[in-house]
Structure 1
Amino acid sequence: MVLAEVAGCVIIKRIAKFAPYTNLGDRRQVMLIGFSVGNYKSFKETVTISMVASSITEEEKELDTNNVFEVNRKLKLLKTAAIYGANASGKSNLVAAINFMKWFVLNSSKETQVSEAIDVEAFRLSTETEKEPSFFEIVFLIEEKTFRYGFEVNAREVVSEWLFQADDSEEKMLFERDLDNFILDDFLEGQGISDKTRSNALFLSVVAQFNGKLSGKILLWFSKNLQLISGLQDRQYRKETLESFENDRHRHDIIEFIKKLDLGIADIEIINQPVFVVANNNTPVYGSSYGSLYPISAMKPAVKTVHRKYDADGKQTSLELFDIEKHESEGTNKLFALAGILLDTLRKGKILLIDELDARLHPLITRELICLFNSNETNPHNAQLIFTTHDTNLLSSKTFRKDQIWFTEKDNKGATDLYSLVEYKVGKNASFERDYIIGKYGAIPFIGNFKELIGELHE
């Protein structure tokens, strides 16, 4: 096994050998610059997570070299961002906000009807926000052009919507919407379509349905390049890994990825097995042929892990097949389920957001997954990873720059704030993990006295 030390991480070089991109525009079209949300779930005021690299320099120079990439002479972006915070502080709500924006952009023009409510949840713990819309805005790059797109919505309608494009010197408005009033500047593909846009649908989505070129590219950016998953519900993403097995090159990468994580697995096989089709009441569904009934079956892929079997002298004698769901750990199942989408993100330079990345994973494995992104060698196409975590070991492993570390914290009125470690004055020899645990940066739980509770239980 060939290993390399990069900023405290052991990088598996083999995983870096993806097919190179020849089109620089394709490689740059998926970059995320920032996302803002306000009056949504636990966010009362508008907060912003930015992937723009600050002007800081780190003592570990590899962090500046590997964790940051240059878009142009004015803009440098971060490859990863870690979000810390107490339970119920709002970390998952940030991922949910981006997920809602993606869903609404892709589906508002086709899945909602005139009378349907918009499934958006405003901040509920203040009378100030009860009748106000929720705010969503994202800044991103497509083909080296910067766009800022956003909207405000409530349960009934789209209150406002806007799209701006920026170049080196200025930002220009493409369109703005205030309820049913539209201002279209250079957005020629939107001409004549505003009157076809329902009050509960996004104008951008409707224009894309009418084959708008730019709007179609933006929807494709949301659909193909912005990927969001939950680390607690990861098995639903196993389909991505199974589909990757159909490509021999991708299959090899996935198997190598699993083998190098020290899971004791020598190989992986996919076996199609028949399963009976059942109805809602869990009874088999039958078909008929020439007057006879027979249970209907379908083929379902079963994942088998291959393990080596040894004799008393330690000599390998054979191979044993295990069913991954029945015989392997929850952590192994998670890594297999995520392997396809992780490697696809790195291979194609996409954006991946994972809620609870570290759930069911050993801290060293979590660190290795992050290091795949924080490396010029294993992430040559500048894929970006944003994740929530409770793994404080990462803070002491020289894995991040200060501007890559984010915190969520609720105030005494239940509203979430989002802020970065770069906002703090931190000494050169400071321990991020120690200072975080003792509450120097906030974003930790304040736990009550359990001894009093135990005393009450004994009464």
Structure 2
Amino acid sequence: MIHYLKIRNFGPVKDEAEINFEVAENIAEDAYEVLMLDGRKLLKLAYIYGANASGKTTILKAIEFLRSILLRPAENKASELNFDPFLFCDGAYDIPSFFELSFYMAGLRYIYTINFNKQSILNEKLVFYQSIKPTELFTRETDIEKRLSKIQFGSKIKIPARERDLIESNTLHNNTVFGAYARTNVDIPELEDLNKWFSMYLLGMVTSAHNLTEVTATLIDKNPKINDWINDFLNKADNQITQVMVPEWNDQIGMPLDDAYHFELKNRIIPQGSVAITTTIKGVGAGMLQAAPQQRYYGGPSERRIDFMHHVGDGKNYPLSIQKESSGTKRYFGLGGPLYELIHGSHLLCIDELETSLHPDLMKHFLQVFLMNAESSQMLITTHNLSLMEDQDFIRRDALWFSEKGTDGSVSLFSAADFDTTTLRKDASLINAYKTGRLGAKPNLGSPYLTE
């Protein structure tokens, strides 16, 4: 599980910002908490509120970026890292960026730190705790002028010299050690276990633009028992829906895929080869041919049909194609698959604007299902749904985070648990405190009257 993530000089985050899942003191134990072997308690769920363009999504993008550089190494030395630092300052690209991730795997706590810029990984370090003192797994330094990396492994790790040399030679200046390991034909158990953990635990980020229909449908294909779970899950949202039918691929519908479901989730859940890609050719200039952007379709020539069976007032059941269902029903069905994975596995899922197309009560029910049934998974969500703050028995102060943009354009991140009792009394209403501006992170709106 994730303990905390610190980031600096990443997008609109200039100075250090930290999202922390550790349980705060003096808050009653509830379904949010998971106990680690060392006695530390972590939260399963955290929320980030804030005005538009206040940096909420940046925190989720930071986790997405970290997963990318750990698991998808650059192909060559000329590749740049896919991010921008804080740009509202002089010499923006000369200032290093920084991440620190504290997490638990197999009962042990690890801390991974990395400094980087647009061109290179400057240094990185990984330690773990078998006792109070940290044990070093590896340290990596990069000679920027020569674009060469030097790796020092800790004394507790027994690696043959040949394998050390292979890892070091494959660690390009713009790759992490884990990225290099992922493409090197060696077996280092300590790195292998961590590589698998990063791949399985960090599911990626889901935005309001992602349609997760095929993710959930494919899970049902892989395990028909999931169909019963999804049926019950959807029936709680709409009691007319009694069954979801996901038959084998048939009639071509040709629904454009484009950005329909998240790349990382597709690779994690959907079998390879389930997406067909077609390319059209257009003439460019005199006798020149150029491939147009690829258009992808669910299943290519053999599209599956997804029907929802509705039990209506006349006592009969009627099927309705998913294309004819409401946006909220389609959204909830799509989220059902990832939720099943969270409950039955161990993962972190980041969801941007979870409330999209969902009634506030339905969104709350979704979160309650997660909290009451997941054991070692986590969710980090951004939301504008203020109604969650109205129920103080549901939302915890240490799970409630706010992002706020300063006058210099930089983003700060803070928790409701950070406020002392002079600002936020123990029994104070969170929603009233937020609406009156005592917690910050509100839009600065002017008069509704427009001037010519």
How many angstroms does 1:373 deviate by?
2.9
How many angstroms does 1:297 deviate by?
7.2
Q: Is 1:160 aligned to 2:154, yes or no?
A: no
Aligned to 1:16: none
Aligned to 2:427: 429
Aligned to 1:245: 220
SS in 2 for 1:372: helix
How many angstroms does 1:55 deviate by?
1.4
Q: Is 1:304 aligned to 2:299, yes or no?
A: no
- Partners of 1:359 and 1:128 in 2: how far apart? 38
- Partners of 2:331 and 2:440 in 1: how far apart? 31
- Using a 3 Å threshold, how does the CA distance of structure 1 residues 245 and 196 change in structure 2: closer, same or farther? closer
- Partners of 2:90 and 2:207 in 1: how far apart? 34
- Partners of 1:129 and 1:172 in 2: how far apart? 34
- Partners of 1:437 and 1:201 in 2: how far apart? 45
> Is the CA contact (8 Å cut-off) linking 1:134 and 1:154 kept in structure 2?
yes
* Equivalenced residues, count: 395
> Is the CA contact (8 Å cut-off) linking 2:401 and 2:414 kept in structure 1?
yes
SS in 2 for 1:273: coil
- Using a 3 Å threshold, how does the CA distance of structure 1 residues 73 and 151 change in structure 2: closer, same or farther? closer
Cα-to-partner distance string for 1:267-307 (whole Å, 9 max, x where unaligned): 11124323278954499xxxxxxxxxxxx972111211111
TM-score normalised by structure 2 residue count: 0.83
- Partners of 2:277 and 2:207 in 1: how far apart? 29
1:182 alignment partner AA? I
SS in 2 for 1:360: coil
- Partners of 2:120 and 2:300 in 1: how far apart? 45
Picking from 2, 5, 10, the partner of 1:40 is: 10
The equivalences for 1:154-193 within 5 A come to 154-179=117-142, 180-186=149-155, 187-189=157-159, 191-192=164-165, 193=167
How many angstroms does 1:356 deviate by?
0.8
- Using a 3 Å threshold, how does the CA distance of structure 1 residues 346 and 389 change in structure 2: closer, same or farther? same
Percent identity among equivalent residues?
Answer: 24
- Partners of 2:280 and 2:181 in 1: how far apart? 43
1:184 alignment partner AA? F
- Using a 3 Å threshold, how does the CA distance of structure 1 residues 199 and 231 change in structure 2: closer, same or farther? closer
How many angstroms does 1:388 deviate by?
0.6
- Using a 3 Å threshold, how does the CA distance of structure 1 residues 338 and 158 change in structure 2: closer, same or farther? same
- Using a 3 Å threshold, how does the CA distance of structure 1 residues 297 and 41 change in structure 2: closer, same or farther? closer
Picking from 78, 91, 100, the partner of 1:137 is: 100
Ranges in structure 1 where 5+ consecutive residues have no aligned partner: 1-30, 59-63, 284-295
Aligned to 2:39: 74
- Partners of 1:168 and 1:80 in 2: how far apart? 28
Q: Is 1:260 aligned to 2:236, yes or no?
A: yes
Aligned to 1:273: 250
How many angstroms does 1:204 deviate by?
2.4
Q: Is 1:204 aligned to 2:178, yes or no?
A: yes
Cα-to-partner distance string for 1:128-185 (whole Å, 9 max, x where unaligned): 6431122122111111111111322222111111111112311122211221233322
SS in 1 for 2:18: strand
> Is the CA contact (8 Å cut-off) linking 1:83 and 1:406 kept in structure 2?
yes
> Is the CA contact (8 Å cut-off) linking 2:404 and 2:441 kept in structure 1?
yes
- Partners of 1:278 and 1:361 in 2: how far apart? 32
Q: Is 1:94 aligned to 2:59, yes or no?
A: yes
> Is the CA contact (8 Å cut-off) linking 1:234 and 1:338 kept in structure 2?
no
Cα-to-partner distance string for 1:417-436 (whole Å, 9 max, x where unaligned): 01111111222331101111
> Is the CA contact (8 Å cut-off) linking 2:231 and 2:243 kept in structure 1?
yes
Aligned to 1:222: 198
- Deviates most, 212-221 or 332-341: 212-221
SS in 2 for 1:352: strand
The equivalences for 1:283-362 within 5 A come to 298-310=301-313, 315-316=314-315, 318-325=316-323, 327-362=324-359
SS in 1 for 2:125: strand
Picking from 118, 127, 136, the partner of 2:90 is: 127
Q: Is 1:412 aligned to 2:407, yes or no?
A: yes
- Partners of 1:38 and 1:278 in 2: how far apart? 39
How many angstroms does 1:322 deviate by?
1.1
Aligned to 1:19: none
> Is the CA contact (8 Å cut-off) linking 1:44 and 1:129 kept in structure 2?
no
1:197 alignment partner AA? T
2:306 alignment partner AA? V
Aligned to 1:392: 386
Runs of 4+ in 1 over 4 A off after TM superposition: 276-279
Cα-to-partner distance string for 1:319-340 (whole Å, 9 max, x where unaligned): 2211112x11111111111111
- Partners of 1:225 and 1:182 in 2: how far apart? 26
Aligned to 2:259: none
How many angstroms does 1:96 deviate by?
0.6
TM-score normalised by structure 1 residue count: 0.81
- Partners of 1:40 and 1:263 in 2: how far apart? 45
Ranges in structure 2 where 5+ consecutive residues have no aligned partner: 143-148, 255-275, 283-298
Aligned to 1:7: none
Higher relative contact order (CA 8 A, sep 6+): 1
Q: Is 1:382 aligned to 2:364, yes or no?
A: no
- Partners of 1:281 and 1:303 in 2: how far apart? 28
SS in 1 for 2:205: strand
How many angstroms does 1:229 deviate by?
2.9
1:68 alignment partner AA? E
RMSD between aligned residues: 2.2
Q: Is 1:369 aligned to 2:366, yes or no?
A: yes
Cα-to-partner distance string for 1:333-366 (whole Å, 9 max, x where unaligned): 1111111111111111322211111111111111
- Using a 3 Å threshold, how does the CA distance of structure 1 residues 41 and 263 change in structure 2: closer, same or farther? farther
- Partners of 1:269 and 1:99 in 2: how far apart? 33
2:442 alignment partner AA? I
> Is the CA contact (8 Å cut-off) linking 1:205 and 1:215 kept in structure 2?
no
